[in-house]
Amino acid sequence: MNDRHPKPEELFDFPCDHVFKAMGPNTDLFVFEVRRAVSGILPVSQDAVKVRPSGKGNYVSVSVVVRVHNFDQVTGIYDALRQIDDLKYLL
């Protein structure tokens, strides 16, 4: 039996498409901040961003799909997303 746990970077097969999902208030500013955080690391096409409001419309889920080429890009994007003031949840 192999007790070795894979390193996080070993779970990816680079290059690959990866979805970053951030939840926060349903405002244009929040959507803009999410897009800006990701595009600070990698280019984001217009159709790569999907916005879905919550049931009551108070919150929004912003999904951004980008092609990542290494683990530093993945961690860089997550670090940038964590800097968003109104971020409630991050996947």
For the segment 23-44, what is each residue's pLDDT rounded down to a tens digit?
A: 999 999 999 999 999 999 999 9
Over residues 50-58, the mean pLDDT reads 98
Q: How confident is the model at residue 62 (pLDDT cuts 50, 70, 90)?
A: very high
pLDDT of res. 15: 97
Annotate the chain with DSSP letters as a single string. ---PPPPGGGG--SSEEEEEEEEEESSHHHHHHHHHHHHTTS---GGGEEEEE-TTSSEEEEEEEEEE-SHHHHHHHHHHHHT-TT--EE-
Q: How confident is the model at residue 77 (pLDDT cuts 50, 70, 90)?
A: very high
Nearest Cα to Cα of residue 64 among 22, 9, 19, 27: 19
| pTM for the whole structure | 0.91
